[in-house]
């Protein structure tokens, strides 16, 4: 089976807009239930149907910021894949966005990483039968040829609901053998698994987790450049995956 129907899940509007505009994707206001803040942008690129989904803005707390973190990410991904299932099921889900990178794993600002697996670092459950569930490691679909083609690095993405981290998170990020850290990947992978949709992440490094600067400062400094990098990388990813079989990635 070749890949012709791709969903790209991107948490933040600033990360998604350059790519959506570049491919001239159009808002589809009827894609998500009207009660949800989620947004969908759809169109065709070469032979591929594309649906970019974003998590929209926070109306629950009235802050108006992007709905980052695992809860909106899993919910939006679940609803998108459920919606497509009844029409033309998605062949592939790509989670694109920014991340923190670990310099001990060779990450530098602006690097593009493709995920080999995802796991959580903030779901500590000290009941032995629940511990692996808490970590929730999920393998990504294999994309080694794609990584070589676009000159991206490969590594595990560790997910948690905080931009910063504390001592215990640090320990679990190391245990997860993480190259990069984000706030959505493990949740998006979980929702993709529910619908048996192959998935992987494309993550651009905005800040160095094991460096000197506070994450939030470095993140804000580099968000614009990272969004541009995402915009130049994602079309190459889409061009490569479309019309290929999964084992050719």
- Mind telling me the catalytic residues? 15, 207
238 binds ligand ADE (CB under 6 A): no
Closest CA to 160 of 228, 32, 73: 73
67 binds ligand ADE (CB under 6 A): no
- Helix, strand, coil percent values for the chain (each to nearest 5): 35, 30, 35
Rounded to a whole number of angstroms, the minimum distance from the CB of residue 12 to ligand ADE is: 9
Size of the site for ligand ADE (CB under 6 A): 12
Q: Locate tokens 């470095």: which residue?
A: 218
Are the C-beta atoms of residues 5 and 89 closer than 8 Å to each other?
yes
123 binds ligand ADE (CB under 6 A): no
By beta-carbon proximity to ligand ADE, the closer residue of 52 and 180 is 180
The piece of 17-25, 86-94, 107-115, 180-188 that touches ligand ADE (CB under 6 A) is: 180-188
By beta-carbon proximity to ligand ADE, the closer residue of 91 and 184 is 184
The length of the chain is: 249
Are the C-beta atoms of residues 145 and 249 closer than 8 Å to each other?
yes
Cα–Cα dist 24/19, whole Å: 8
Concatenated DSSP letters for 118-153?
EEESS----STTTHHHHH--EEPPP-HHHHHHHT-E
Rounded to a whole number of angstroms, the minimum distance from the CB of residue 62 to ligand ADE is: 23
- Contact with ligand ADE (CB under 6 A): which of 54, 55, 75, 98? 98
Are the C-beta atoms of residues 70 and 119 closer than 8 Å to each other?
no
Rounded to a whole number of angstroms, the minimum distance from the CB of residue 81 to ligand ADE is: 23
- Contact with ligand ADE (CB under 6 A): which of 119, 154, 183, 241? 183
Rounded to a whole number of angstroms, the minimum distance from the CB of residue 79 to ligand ADE is: 23
Q: Under rule CB under 6 A, which residues in 195-234 are in contact with ligand ADE?
A: 206-207, 209, 215, 219
Alpha carbons within 13 A on the beta-carbon side of 11: 25
| Site residues (vs ligand ADE, CB under 6 A) | 98-100, 163, 181-183, 206-207, 209, 215, 219
């Amino acid at each position: 089976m070749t890949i012709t129907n791709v969903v790209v899940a991107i948490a933040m509007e600033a990360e998604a807009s350059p790519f959506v505009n570049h491919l001239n994707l159009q808002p589809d206001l009827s894609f998500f239930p009207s009660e949800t803040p989620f947004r969908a942008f759809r169109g065709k690129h070469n032979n591929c149907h594309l649906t970019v989904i974003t998590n929209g803005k926070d109306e629950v707390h009235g802050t108006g910021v992007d709905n980052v973190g695992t809860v909106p990410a899993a919910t939006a991904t679940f609803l998108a894949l459920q919606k497509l299932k009844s029409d033309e099921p998605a062949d592939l889900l790509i989670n694109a966005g920014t991340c923190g990178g670990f310099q001990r794993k060779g990450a530098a600002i602006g690097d593009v990483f493709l995920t080999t697996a995802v796991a959580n670092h903030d779901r500590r459950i000290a009941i032995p039968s629940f511990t692996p569930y808490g970590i929730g490691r999920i393998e990504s679909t294999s994309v080694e040829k794609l990584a070589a083609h676009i000159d991206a690095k490969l590594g595990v993405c560790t997910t948690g609901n905080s931009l910063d981290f504390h001592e215990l998170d640090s320990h679990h990020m190391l245990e997860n053998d993480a190259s990069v850290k984000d706030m959505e990947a493990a949740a998006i992978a979980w929702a993709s698994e529910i619908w048996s949709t192959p998935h992987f992440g494309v993550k651009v490094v905005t800040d160095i987790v094991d460096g000197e600067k506070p994450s939030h400062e470095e993140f804000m400094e580099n968000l614009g450049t990272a969004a541009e990098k995402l915009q130049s990388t994602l079309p190459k990813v889409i061009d490569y995956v479309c019309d290929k079989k999964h084992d050719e990635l």
